[in-house]
């Protein structure tokens, strides 16, 4: 996709590994297009004007926080105008929701973020629009130009068919029965229409050229052409994404297009012909299963197979990895409030290949379970009286203990979730093998142990995770005794001995001297 560029961030970062460990100084490295990303639900993150609703200027105010955390890219959930709280039903692809700010605010966010080496990737929701979009409203009146923008039933359509999760697919009545795979408020767009495709390309061009965003997170990327209409829907989807990628790269050769293809690797793979990256839902499941069961669910073997398959499709692809996101119960809820297990999930994510995405609040241990509103609760900034930047768009159900969940309560706590995330992110950014290195398996087999190597032409690290509540002792193989320097330890470990003792829920990263 792009030539990797290695550079140094001007300032190095002071990093405290854990209780009793020595302070380690990591020199931050960057290796584009790799980076650590942060997913933000704008409404819930930071409020700049006191109305209780997060906004773009609130994010600008918090760029220093994200920079200190080690974030190199931000994924903004939908910021276009929309009648809903979540924004996934767009009414204007060229606008900004007035509750979030203005076009000028978006331009300033991009400029200020880029000054700090932080990219901006925006949610681009083009599988469907809002039913309130002017296009759809005109289509309902019979306007032929805009009617062609949507998918309508005809006399041969089985309007009683249901979708992948047993949902209703067809809505409306009479001559206005339309496809809406996700909801009746989200009529599906018709990508057989050349004019509609051009509208979408024009919108992408606007955000790249006029606003300067660095890329797109492409919602519902496998549903542009639905299986209810086409047996070859995946092929049709890929063809459009290839067209769209070509148009976007003509504007910005370094654009990043990350697709949401929530499916197995065998389905995701072909989409990498038209996308630079896809979210790895299989890996998310493996990480959560591993930490919940305190036993390796086959992370390395599964990921190695996936990487091999993806590289056959696109040798330059980059995996987009995560633990949970805005559509899933939060990590802390999945592990039933166990901080140790949540920390180990972060340790796995931040030492494996790919561009890791952190859902806002994971770094402070926010909890949340469906319905969706309650996995998108406000980020908590301070432990006392609500700070001016505190959002209140919804009353928190899962995160009422500000003494534990707030950033303020965790900033100076060397054992906090925040410190764990910050330390690991910056350790990752200080070693090119952890940033871009290939994944290699090891021969160590022990219940509760997850081990692997990360390797470039010049560097190699050995990563050891104990995801269990029991201590594990490891004797390094003869071939691995060159790994005799501690690079990172989540416990008090300053040197490598013949026998390595890994405490419960711990991580050790070793270098060759």
Q: State how far the Cα of 310 lies from the Cα of 270, in Å rounded to an integer.
A: 8
Give the domain ranges of the chain: 5-125+194-434, 438-512
Give the pLDDT of residue 24.
66
Which CATH number among 3.40.980.10, 1.10.287.130, 2.60.40.1180, 3.30.465.10 corresponds to the domain 438-512?
2.60.40.1180
Residues 289-339 have pLDDT tens digits of 999 999 999 999 999 999 999 999 999 999 999 999 999 999 999 999 999
pTM: 0.94
pLDDT at position 31 is 83
Catalytic machinery residues: 219, 260
DSSP 208: I
Tokens coding 299: 């992370």
Strands, sheet with 73-76, edge to edge from the N-terminal-most edge strand: 277-278, 256-259, 215-218, 119-124, 73-76, 37-40, 355-359, 320-322
pLDDT tens digit sequence for 4-48: 233 333 333 333 333 333 346 688 998 889 999 999 999 999 999
Q: Using 50, 70 and 90 to split pLDDT, how confident is the model at 386?
A: confident
Q: Confidence band (pLDDT; 50, 70, 90) for 391?
A: very high
Give pLDDT tens digits for 474-511: 999 999 999 999 999 999 988 898 889 999 999 999 99
Cα 401 from chain centre: 26
- Rounded Cα gap, residues 36 and 25, in angstroms: 19
Look at residue 499 and give its three-state secondary structure: strand
Q: How far apart are CA 204 and CA 201, in angstroms?
A: 5
CATH topology of domain 5-125+194-434: TIM Barrel (3.20.20)
Average pLDDT over residues 79-100: 98
Please state, rounded to an integer, the average pLDDT across all residues of the chain.
93
Q: How confident is the model at residue 78 (pLDDT cuts 50, 70, 90)?
A: very high
Token pair listed for 64:
């220093």
Cβ contact 389:408 at 8 Å: no
Q: What is the pLDDT of residues 244-281, one digit of tens each?
A: 999 999 999 999 999 999 999 999 999 999 999 999 99
Write down the pLDDT at residue 497: 87
223 — pLDDT class (breaks 50, 70, 90): very high
pLDDT of residue 498: 83
> What's the mean pLDDT in 104-131?
98
């Amino acid at each position: 996709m792009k030539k990797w560029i290695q550079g140094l961030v001007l300032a190095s970062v002071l990093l405290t590994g854990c209780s009793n460990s020595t302070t380690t100084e990591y020199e931050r490295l960057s290796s584009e297009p790799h980076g650590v990303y942060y997913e933000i639900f704008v409404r819930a993150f930071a409020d700049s004007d006191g109305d209780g609703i997060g906004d773009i200027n609130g994010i600008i105010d918090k760029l220093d926080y994200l920079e200190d955390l080690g974030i190199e890219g931000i994924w903004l959930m939908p910021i276009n105008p929309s009648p809903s709280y979540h924004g996934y039903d767009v009414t204007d692809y060229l606008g900004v929701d007035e509750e979030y700010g203005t076009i000028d605010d978006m331009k300033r966010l991009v400029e200020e973020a880029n000054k700090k080496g932080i990219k901006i990737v925006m949610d681009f929701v083009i599988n469907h629009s809002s039913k309130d979009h002017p296009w759809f409203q005109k289509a309902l009146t019979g306007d032929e130009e805009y009617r062609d923008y949507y998918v309508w039933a005809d006399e041969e359509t089985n309007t009683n068919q249901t979708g992948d999760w047993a949902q209703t697919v067809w809505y409306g009545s009479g001559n206005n029965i339309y496809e809406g795979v996700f909801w009746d408020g989200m009529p599906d767009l018709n990508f057989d229409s050349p004019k509609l495709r051009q509208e979408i390309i024009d919108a992408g061009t606007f955000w790249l050229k006029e606003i300067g965003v660095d890329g797109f997170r492409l919602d519902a990327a496998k549903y542009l052409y639905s299986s209810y209409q086409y047996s070859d829907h995946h092929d049709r989807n890929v063809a459009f994404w290839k067209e769209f990628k070509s148009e976007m790269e003509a504007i910005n050769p370094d654009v990043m297009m990350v697709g949401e293809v929530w499916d197995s690797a065998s389905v995701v793979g072909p989409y990498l012909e038209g996308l630079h990256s896809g979210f790895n839902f299989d890996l998310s499941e493996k990480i959560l299963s591993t930490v919940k069961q305190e036993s390796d669910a086959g992370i390395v073997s599964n990921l190695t197979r996936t990487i091999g398959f993806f590289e056959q499709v696109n040798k330059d692809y980059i995996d987009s990895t995560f633990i949970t996101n805005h559509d899933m119960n939060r990590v802390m809820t999945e592990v039933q409030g166990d901080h140790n297990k949540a920390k180990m999930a972060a340790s796995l994510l931040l030492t494996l290949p790919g561009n890791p995405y952190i859902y806002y609040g994971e770094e402070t241990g926010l909890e949340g379970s469906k319905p969706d509103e309650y996995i998108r609760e406000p980020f908590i900034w301070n432990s006392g009286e609500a700070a001016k930047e505190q959002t209140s768009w919804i009353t928190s159900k899962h995160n009422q203990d500000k003494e534990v969940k707030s950033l303020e309560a965790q900033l100076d706590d060397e054992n906090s979730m925040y410190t764990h995330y910050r330390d690991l992110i910056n350790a990752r950014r200080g070693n090119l093998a952890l940033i871009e290195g290939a994944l290699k398996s090891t021969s160590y087999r022990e219940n509760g142990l997850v081990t692997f190597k990360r390797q470039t032409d010049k560097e190699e690290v050995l990563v050891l995770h104990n995801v269990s509540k029991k201590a594990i002792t490891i004797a390094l193989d003869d071939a691995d005794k060159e790994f005799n320097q501690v690079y990172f330890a989540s416990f008090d470990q300053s040197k490598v001995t013949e026998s390595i003792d890994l405490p419960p829920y711990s991580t050790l990263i070793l270098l060759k001297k």
